[in-house]
Amino acid sequence: MPQKQRKRVLVPSLSGMHDILPQDQGYYRKFQEIAEKLSSLYNFQRIDTPVLERAELFIKGTGAITDIVQKEMYTFRTKGGDWVALRPEGTPPVVRAYLEHGMISWIQPVKLYYFGPFFRHESPQAGRYREFRQFGLEVIGEKDPSVDVEVIALSYNIVSKVGIKKLIVEINSIGCKKCHSRFKKNLVRYLEKRQIGLCQNCRQRIKSNPLRLLDCKEEKCQLLIQTAPQIIDYLCQECHNHFKNVLEYLEEIRIPYNLNPYLVRGLDYYNRTVFEIIEEGDKKKTTLVGGGRYDGLVKIFSRRDIPGCGSAIGVERVLNKLKSEEVKTEQEKPQIFLAQIGELAKKKSLKILEDLRKANIKAEGALGKSNLKSQLSIADKLGIKIVLILGQKEVIENRILVRDMKRGQQDLVRIENLIPKIKKFIKKLK
Ligand code: AMP
């Protein structure tokens, strides 16, 4: 009896995770080139940390009662018994690396950038993924407000240079622990009187984390927040001066900002300056960049009291905007196509293609095809301007036909002269 044929079913990608297809690679490449070049001009150095870390790093660093850790972190136990997490954000790993590699003894501040994937089990929607890329900046070891401004300026300039021209920095200061105690008391008093008007989540947060309530996106909460006490009125003298300097420096370098007294950001470690960068006039207020100061974070993992400040650019969010605004990126086309006819020519073509690539010439062939017409049609579809044609006769005579597809001219060239000839040709075409 014939064996029953098994049904083949595609195993799809996971929800919220996506492939980056060849036609989109240009956007990512352009982003990375610009971001790395600018970061290097500001004297930031690249760091790569592992995708997997001990879960404890984020529980202690990001904060046990943040949404990222409570609801969104991918965690599992390894066969060796370690409790690990797919990194949901980049700051705690960079701080860990700073301490673990003795960067305390480097010239301070240490200025680092990273680029890579991050994972959060959020409900997927436009611009919100479960795997996404961030380009992050971290400056560790300097408390001066000029550092906050450098981080903001570099983030702003990267996104702007990539192609989103009208940006605005939403900025606030959430002060320090000293400022919080008086503010929290008044905020809780205000909120308790209006509990009925708050969403379920926020009602629970009034006591545990009232500051985070200011971040709630629910409309009814937003309405109440608009008349709530503002942290900025409760800043201690030091925090007040720090923030005043940040704003003055931003004005000095002409970075446009909007003072947003209710911006708090969702992570525990932030203090003083917090900011987001959005596109001006964006009704949805899509956050392209988020960041702030984290002066207490190093102290959670060591006895050292070392300040820090950083930001993270949501790469997909920036690129989605570019695509929706139809900012095109060029896909790099091959410069040469080699068509061959016959077994002998096919074999020789392999060597010629290798030599072209060794000479840094981007070359393509279709060695699986034997018909000249179909090969020329591929070259045409790829938009290649120079086609080489090699037949049995040419191989025996050690020559190759070089055809300029634009002008319709062709030349018979000795194979040993091919590369210099092609290089000249390419120069002429530019
Ligand atoms: P955060 O680490 O939450 O401060 O986020 C920094 C930036 O990363 C945000 O401004 C977003 O642009 C981006 N981002 C955060 N979460 C996601 C997500 N789930 N999907 C895509 N981008 C994200």
pTM (two decimals): 0.89
Model pLDDT for residues 151-184, shown as the tens digit of each residue: 999 999 999 999 998 999 999 999 998 998 888 8
Angle at alpha carbon of residue 177, lines to 288 and 89, rounded to 5°:
30
- Determine the angle formed by the axes of helices 343-358 and 418-429, rounding to 10 degrees: 60
Among protein residues, the one with the nearest Cα to ligand 1's atom 11 is 314
Give the other-Cβ count within 10 Å of 221's Cβ.
Answer: 23
Give the tokens for residue 386. 């120079």
Mean pLDDT of the chain: 93
Distance CA 225, CA 262 (A): 8
- Tell me the DSSP string of 85-114: EE-S-SHHHHHHHHHHTTGGGSSSSEEEEE
Nearest to 43 by CA among 134, 117, 116, 142: 142
Q: CA-to-CA distance for 57 and 192, rounded, in angstroms?
A: 34
Q: Give yes or no for residue 141 CB within 6 A of ligand 1.
A: no
Backbone angles phi, psi at 384, to 5 degrees: -85, 135
Cα gap 295→306, rounded to integer Å = 6
CA-nearest residue for atom 16, ligand 1, is: 128
CA gap 86, 334 in Å, rounded: 38
User: Which ligand 1 atom lies nearest to the CA of residue 122?
Assistant: 19
| φ and ψ of 402, to 5 deg | -110, 115
The answer, yes or no, to whether any atom of ligand 1 lies below 6 A from the CB of 132, is yes
- Torsions phi, psi of 70, nearest 5? -70, -40
Atom index in ligand 1 nearest the CA of residue 288 equals: 12
SS (H, E, C) 152-185: HHHHHHHHHHHCCCCEEEEEEECCCHHHHHHHHH
Token pair in block for residue 227: 């008349």
State the distance from the centre of ligand 1 to the C-alpha of 372, rounded, in angstroms. 51
What is the structure's pLDDT at 200? 86
- pLDDT score of 374 more than 70: yes
- pLDDT given at position 66: 85
Give the pLDDT confidence score for residue 1 in this predicted structure. 52
Residue 355: both structure tokens together = 């030599």
pLDDT of residue 182: 85
Q: How far apart are CA 224 and CA 216, in angstroms?
A: 11
CA angle 96, 99, 102 (to 5 degrees): 140
Alpha carbons within 13 A on the beta-carbon side of 114: 25
Share of the chain above pLDDT 70, in %: 97
Residue 311 has pLDDT above 90, yes or no: yes
**CA 140 to CA 123: how far, in whole Å?**
33
